[in-house]
Amino acid sequence: MVLFAPAFIILLVAHRALAVTFNLSVNLPFLTPSLGKSVVNIVKFIQANEIILNDIDPTGSHSFRLVYTATNFTSRNATLAIQNAIAEHNVVGVIGDRPSSLTIPQALTGAKDYVWMCSGASSSVDLTDKSLFPYFFRTMAADPYQGVFFSYFMRHIGWKSANVIASSDAYGRSVSTSFMSTAQTLGIQIAANTVFNAGQANFTDIINTVLNSGSQIIVLATTANNGIELLRQAKARGLISSEWVWLVCDSFAYWMTLNVTPQDIDNVNGMLVVYPREDSYNALYNQSVARFQQLNPGELVPAHSFNFLDCVSAMARGILRIVNATSAADVLARRYFPDLNRFFLHSFEGVTGNVEFDRQGNRLVPFQVFNFWNGTSTLVYNVLPDSSVIQVSPVRFFSGTSDIPPDRPRKNSLVATWDSAAGIALAVLNAVSMLTIVAVWAYLFYARERPTVKNLSFPFLTLIAIGCMLLLGSNLAALGVPTVATCQASLWLFCFGFELIFASSAAKSFRLFKIFHNKRLSKVRMSNMALMVRVSLVLLGQSVILAAWSAVDAQQPATIQTRSYITYRCSSANPTTDWVFSIITLLYNFALWAILIYFAYKTRNIASNFRETSFMFHTAQNTALTGVVVAAFAWFSFGESSLAAFIIKQCALIYSVAFAFAALIGRIAVAVYLDTAPPANDSVVLRKASNGSKRNRFMSASVAGTATIGGTPIATQLNQLKTLQLSVIRGDFAVKRLGSLMSTWTNHQVTLNLDEGVLHFFSLANDAKLGTVIRLSQAQVYPSSAMPGCLDVSTKSGGAWSIQFLTDDECNQWLALMAPSTPVGTSKERSRNRSTSATGKVGTGTTGSSGGGTQQQGV
């Protein structure tokens, strides 16, 4: 017994002599001012809880000492820091660093000396590669898990699209890549994917891309300090508002510990932070918080502090396992076979709860979603590993309410659909216009045998009416959301409608031009069939252009949308093709328009057919003006005014069609109606003598002037007028001005002064304007083609009148008297041509010299 006591003391002393203290280095950028107090307080939290190392070795044989090394937030300084820690303190393990960009170079550097490394914050997926980082593990989930939980949370909320803004470092790439990969499998569309460099000062391009993306959800994959300037510029551009939602990484848990301004704090209101669960509220957790607050009253525990403290425990436990498996001397001399799974990846109860790892050294932990508001973060959701989401408390978005903003803005549809007010109004307006055209055409069809209609070539009037209908049909086809069929229909109907109107009008004006300007063609009949063949050739040419367009790159609906509106337009997939064929079509139709303008201008003063070519000329002019409006609103984009532009284009086309139809067809219907309607009170149809009987003499009792008759009565046969010498002839007749829809027959005193070669019209009404004087040498006089017993007088300046006589003989006698003073034929030729016209086989009267008249057909 006496010998046993000294032996026990010797063994105890020897054991104490073999006890070793292992150095562990805490490598963090706690001397970097720009990081604020977050890293400093992490260091203070670890220092306040170093006591946990005392319980690592239950035998008390070995101990651990923490040394603190500043990495200064650059890769170079971080590398130098771990080298210094190994050289000066022979550290066997390192706790750090916070950002992955600093952890990676340190892990690579320490690996050659068997220095184990554990981080409570670095989450880059690169650190999962054990071929490069065999000595690294972490109490923090890897970034891919963070991106995956982003996707689970978005699916739970119901968002179907998101924008990604990521930094170009390992941290940003890891989170963004995993998020986009998982999001696509869950049916979440990535509207925009943008990348920026750390330290970047201008984010204009990124903000513009997000603004035009069509999604209002933004996933920001970067560290908090890299996001300060980005959020400031985003706020200035309206990206931080009640319409937008920002989801950020766990790094933003440090936000309040950074050097941020009150405006920066306001910028994160409503922001959602996805963060691995760290608050366990177990006994170890509560004790660690109490120790920190005792030494640092009033200070907040920064994010990741608990993870780093669990890193300290995990590192010490692993080193102790190596010592137990080998020896302390082997550990210090790095003489052992390293095995991460064997020595370090054991689960244990830490301050964050149960600490468990996968085979790559990544922490397996559920995630939580925190909600920022006025500088305070509140837990609102738990996102479990099985992808289920549990709401803990109401979320508060930037609007200050819990109303979940939609992932896409509520866009205004700038489309005149069939059920919208604009669409209904335009449809009704087009339909009414079409019904009006049909009704007027039906009336003219009923009256097609009347000279007024027949002489204006009813087949061509029908073609013009069809052209007007096709143009209005193109308007109707353009209503609603376009399809390939409606795009093609609107284009073809518009082109054919325009060409039917203008080709038909050009054919009619061409025939008049040939009749009045080419004497050699006076005996050539230009039939309707020949002219219609020419119109068909015009349509055939346009058909070839449109068919080629459809074959090369047919027009199809294209969607144009921004954050605030959506609209559509018909265009080819290749803009160049669209412009080329549009210009070809424009030039083709411009040539047709120019031909009509030329012939209508040349024949504008011809008074036949109710001055039809003059109205064609005005129609072409009006079409040119409205065509500019229609083309501008059809070809160019008007942004948020697209609907207004569409309505203006449709209304301009309706106006143009209405003008053309009224000028070329509608006025004819009015003329037919006025001719068949009962005469007005001031109209004179039949002139009566003072005794109530019809006048049947060539000269009235009021004739003034002298005449040498030679004993022969003045009202004898027509050939006796050759010996008659008259000076002034006067009579009261009904006269109507031609070329005006609203003109009526009114009583005039008509005086023919043969010596002066002039014709006078004096109104018998008490009007301020006395009358009209016409120089016969500058006028044409011929029997009216539309009204038997009437003479038409037209001047080169464009004026035209019709004089109504009681009988054909009286009409022929006046024509014979005026013939020597006017460039017209003999009375026999006129009478014969008028009779031919009355049969409806040819058309209007004739003009020409006595050697042969020019026969004018219906135009």
Mean pLDDT of the chain: 82
pTM of this structure = 0.55
CATH 3.40.50.2300 segments of the chain:
21-140+295-355, 146-270+367-391
pLDDT digits 0-9 by tens, 66-90: 999 999 999 999 999 999 999 999 9
Provide φ and ψ at 354, rounded to 5°.
-70, 125
> What does the buried/exposed string (b/e) look like for 384-406 if buried means 16 or more CB atoms within 10 Å of the residue's CB?
eeeeebeeeeebbbbeeeeeebb
Tokens of 55: 């319980």
CA atoms within 13 A on the CB side of 487: 19
The better pLDDT of the pair 796, 636 is held by 636
* Residue ranges matching CATH 2.30.29.30 in the chain: 707-855
- Residues 589-605: tens digit of each pLDDT: 888 888 888 877 777 66
Amino acid at 717: Q
pLDDT over 60 at 715, yes or no: no
**Quick one: fold of 146-270+367-391?**
Rossmann fold (3.40.50)
Sign of CA pseudo-dihedral 532, 538, 539, 541: positive
851, pLDDT greater than 60: no
CA–CA separation, 163 and 178 (whole Å): 14
Q: Provide the pairing of β-strand 136-138 with 116-119.
A: parallel
Which residue spans of the chain are classified as CATH 1.20.1070.10?
413-674
Give the pLDDT confidence score for residue 14 in this predicted structure. 40
Tell me: pLDDT of 710 over 50: no
Three-state SS for 679-702 is: CCCCCCCCCECCCCCECCCCCCCC
* Domain 707-855 sits in CATH 2.40.110.10: no
Percent of the chain with pLDDT over 70: 83
**Looking at per-residue confidence, does 483 or 618 come out higher?**
483
* Residue 363 pLDDT greater than 60, yes or no: yes
Tell me the pLDDT band of 794, cut-offs 50, 70 and 90.
confident
Sign of CA dihedral 165, 169, 173, 175: negative
Among 214-218, 672-676, 712-716, the range scoring the smallest mean pLDDT is 712-716
Name the fold adopted by 413-674: Rhopdopsin 7-helix transmembrane proteins (1.20.1070)
Residue 265 corresponds to which tokens in the numbers above? 């704090």
Give the pLDDT confidence score for residue 139 in this predicted structure. 97
Most confident among 72-86, 480-494, 803-817 (mean pLDDT) = 72-86
Q: In the CATH scheme, what is the code of domain 21-140+295-355?
A: 3.40.50.2300
> What's the confidence (pLDDT) of residue 684?
38
